[in-house]
Amino acid sequence: MTPDEIENAVNAGMPRAVDDLKRLVAIPSVAFPGHPEEPVLAAAAMTEELLRSAGLPHVRRIPVDGSFPAVYAEAPAPPGAPTVLLYAHYDVQPAGDPALWRTPAFEPTEIDGAVYGRGAADDKSGVISHVAALRAFQGRFPVGVKVIIEGQEEYAGERLEAFVERNPELLRADAIVVADTGNPKVGDPSVTTSLRGMGAFTVEVRTLKESLHSGSFGGAAPDALAALIRMLAALHDDHGDIRVPGLPRGTFLGSGPSEEEFRATAGVLDGVSLVGSGSLADRLWASYAITVTGLDVPTVSGAINAVQSVARARVTVRVPPAGDPKTTVEAVVDFLRQVAPWGVQVDVGDYTVGSGYLADSGGAARTALNRAMEHAFGRPPRDVGAGGSIPLVSTFARQFPAATILLFGAEDDDASIHAPNERVDLGELHRTVLAEALFLQEYASATS
């Protein structure tokens, strides 16, 4: 097919694609413990239906140990053509507080050219991008196609990692498209070439056999909460740079957002400074970051006049692509033990680690994607990083070192993924679908 024929086919198919997106978003496929399983399985069934509608001859659900089923599909490669693996996930984050949503989280609502709803961007837009791009070919694909759509990425994505490691031949491909990312802003074509890894742990501080009356014992009895606060505050200096030895600031070679763009996207309040030093690209994509993501302490509403005997915190560390998450977490834990005051007892557990990823920006697949995105967006893409982690990408890289991994999609930075009022811009979705369809044709032509 010519680029014009592909574009016409994509344009004609977008109304159907938007309707399919709304149907999929309406399913509350939250694969977290405590949420009903039936909607997650319903989303798997609909994903299977959608892939069949895309002309793929072999579609099936496959079990994943300890997880919801993945949906797998494939079409054989024409003689001499490469094979492309397409990845996305059909599960979503919990909706959170309904009062914070302007429209109901699982009642997809179209407003001003965008569809609002939980999962509209992350990552049901990825599922629809693959389906709509494949439909353009009406079953006559220029490359071999494999599709894997998982069902528990948001809560337990490492389970699909284990599946990939046990079934490499099922998923082996020459290029892998991961549709679980996006552009910094709508209409700004970008390919994510850098992902930070991550580590997390829970630290617990104990000082007393039990909490004590602050009037009778305060001033002499060691407060576990005060000790934990001192330890956590010691992780950063006054500028917000990390004080843990061995975790230097990195350098990102591409361009990042301006301070004005970042402040607007992040919603930084007037008069509040950004933290850290170096360029924003360095801080966000190539350097370590430590965040306290949770505290187990008395709430303000439930506070009593007591010196606390125990306090806990959940700490997350983002790790540059070249860094090692395990040794990074060990360095942070060692530092916390060193700065712990008053001889308090420190216990650390519940570790989680995931590797980062740094892509090669060359090769036939990337060149084909550059051409496809330039056609779809009107200008060639630039390289960007992502501060978040997609551990499955590093698994793909280990299992298929010869494959080119391409990360792009419709999740722009204003999409509010994981937050209230998540949305996907339909123009961005359209351009992403067109770019993916053109890529499949360009890649076939480049390797013929």
What's the rounded Cα separation, in Å, for the pair 63 and 36?
18
Instruction: Given the residues 48, 153, 174, 442, select the one marked as catalytic.
Output: 153
Cα angle for residues 199, 44, 399 (degrees, 5° grid):
45
Q: How many CB atoms lie within 10 A of CB 298?
A: 14
Rounded to 10 deg, the angle between the 426-447 and 364-377 helix axes is: 140
Block residue for tokens 């216990």: 347
Peptide bond into 123 cis (omega under 30): yes
Instruction: Given the residues 91, 123, 150, 412, select the one marked as catalytic.
Output: 91
Beta-carbon contacts of 190 under 8 Å, excluding residues fewer than 6 positions away, are 182, 183, 184, 381, 382, 383, 384, 408
Amino acid occupying residue 372? A
What's the rounded Cα separation, in Å, for the pair 94 and 420?
10
Residue among 400, 401, 377, 372 nearest 142 (CA): 372
The residues pairing with 296 across neighbouring beta strands, listed in sequence order, are 312
What DSSP string describes 275-343?
-SSS-HHIIIIIS-EEEEEEEES--STT--SEE-SEEEEEEEEEE-TTS-HHHHHHHHHHHHHHH--TT
What's the rounded Cα separation, in Å, for the pair 66 and 303?
39
13 phi and psi angles, rounded to 5 deg: -90, -5
Q: What Rg value do the Cα atoms of the chain yield, rounded?
A: 24
The verdict on whether 65 is a catalytic residue reads no
Q: Residue 376 in contact with residue 435, Cβ under 8 Å? A: yes
Amino acid occupying residue 85? L
The verdict on whether 374 is a catalytic residue reads no
357 phi and psi angles, rounded to 5 deg: -155, 140
What's the rounded Cα separation, in Å, for the pair 104 and 355?
35
Amino acid occupying residue 335? F
298 phi and psi angles, rounded to 5 deg: -60, 140
| Catalytic residue IDs | 91, 153
